[in-house]
Amino acid sequence: MTAISTGAEGFLGRYAGLTGRLPGATLPAVAALREAAAATFRRTGFPTRRAEAWKYTDLNPVAQSAFHEPLTAVDGAVALPPETGAIRAVFVDGRFRDDLSALPAYAMPLALDPAAATRGIADAVLPMVALNTMLFEDGLVVDLAEGVDGGTLDLVSASDAHPTAFHPRHVIRLGAGASLLLIERNVSAAGIASLHNPVFEIDLGAGAKLTHLRLNTEAPEAFHVATIAVRCAADAVYDSFALNLGARITRNEMHVALNGTGAAAHLNGAQLLDGTRVCDTSTYLDHAAPGCASRQTYKSVLAGRSRGVFQGKILVRQIAQKTDGYQMNQALLLSDEAEMDAKPQLEIYADDVKCSHGATIGALDEEAMFFLRSRGIPMTEARALLVEAFVQDAIAQMPEEAARDAVRAVLTRAWKVAA
């Protein structure tokens, strides 16, 4: 295992050293994709706060860290989340672990089909997407045929006891009328400053439905920078919920295009942060067809000197009449030093639309706290109850009971920490 140098030059040097050895090296389309990405990353480097999209989040700690990127297969035991009984795809340091997985017939590792990464849903001009495209080694490919119910699939990403940087590429396609519950669980070894830079490319056919649950519980030293690109055909539904409890810096960037009449997107989430953690949720919803709906509800609970960021943009194109877009961001500050930055945006070119956005930032309700304390409930428990009640509204947005249960199971261990 060899350590790479810090900064953009270190990753570019890593790419140069892997010429001919990365998956798809012999496929012209994949090789061209990687070269174009390397040129982009060479030009842009890591995004800085001078860029409007990154004005609230500083990636200098990532750029200044040194990471390991082993090419050999990872062996041995690794700490994983509890078994759920679902079919499971496990990746350790970004590489598929067959011995820990049980893949369904409709899924396979990207390393066996690297050409799947050339579908072009994610914008390769984005610096972190360019970094991923340049260096991805593996990921999950899901291809559900028309009308198929894929059930529940666990996607587990873990890192071992080394400060690794890995860039998985997950490609998910649901045919017309297909459905899937994807539960993504991200974990990492305590005390290790790993970099997890995943890219999801999700293509939903007419009437398809994907419920995407993301549970981020990586170590406090870790970095998690995810880009999720979704394309929805007519009447397709993308229903997502992200729960963020870990990582030193988390960035969830979502680009959702509603390209067919009647398509819908539900982007919801909650984050419980303490210490000096930062979590940035940036969403970009493109209403590109008439009669589409979008709903966003994000809740942040911030303690210590932690910081939450919500940037939400809704674009309504001229053709997208009868658009219904809603966006709400709420934050609960448990400390005078905690900070929440909110930047909602509406860009509307159609005249027959219903769009709204809102943001609230406040502290715990003193009257509610007094009510609980007066009935003999200890301070810590009372605060935990109020925090739980605050977050439950976002959890309730998920239609699948299995998804709600998975979130609550993770949160059970987090209330007292947050309080």
Q: What is the pLDDT of residue 416?
A: 46
CB-facing half-sphere around the CA of 303: CA atoms within 13 A? 15
Q: What is the pLDDT of residue 379?
A: 78
Interatomic CA distance for residues 337 and 191, integer angstroms: 24
What one-character-per-residue DSSP string does 238-250 give?
A: EEEEEEE---SEE
Take residue 189 and report the two structure tokens written for it. 């070894």
Contacts of 373 (CB under 8 A, 6+ apart): 379, 382
Q: What is the pLDDT of residue 206?
A: 98
Take residue 145 and report the two structure tokens written for it. 């045929």
Take residue 402 and report the two structure tokens written for it. 């299995």
Q: What is the pLDDT of residue 361?
A: 84
Q: What is the pLDDT of residue 71?
A: 45
Nearest to 107 by CA among 116, 94, 119: 116
Q: Specify the DSSP class assigned to residue 190.
A: T
Contacts of 272 (CB under 8 A, 6+ apart): 244, 245, 301, 387, 391, 411, 414, 417, 418
Q: What is the pLDDT of residue 102?
A: 93
Q: What is the pLDDT of residue 110?
A: 97
Q: Are 172 and 182 spatial neighbours (Cβ–Cβ below 8 Å)?
A: yes
Q: Are 10 and 107 spatial neighbours (Cβ–Cβ below 8 Å)?
A: no
Take residue 331 and report the two structure tokens written for it. 């934050």
pLDDT per residue as tens digits for the range 15-68: 998 888 899 999 999 999 999 999 999 999 999 999 999 999 999 999 998 887
Secondary structure (3-state) at 192: coil
Secondary structure (3-state) at 386: helix
pLDDT per residue as tens digits for the range 162-210: 888 999 999 999 999 999 999 999 998 888 889 999 999 999 999 999 9
Which regions in the chain score pLDDT beneath 70? 1-6, 69-85, 399-400, 412-419
Secondary structure (3-state) at 110: helix
Backbone angles phi, psi at 408, to 5 degrees: -65, -35
Q: Are 194 and 223 spatial neighbours (Cβ–Cβ below 8 Å)?
A: yes
Interatomic CA distance for residues 300 and 391, integer angstroms: 8
Q: What is the pTM of this model?
A: 0.92
| Residue where the block lists tokens 């860290």 | 65
- How far is the CA of 199 from the CAs of 309, 377, 399, in angstroms? 20, 45, 25
H, E, C per residue of 195-214: EECCEEEEEECCCCEEEEEE
Q: What is the pLDDT of residue 419?
A: 43
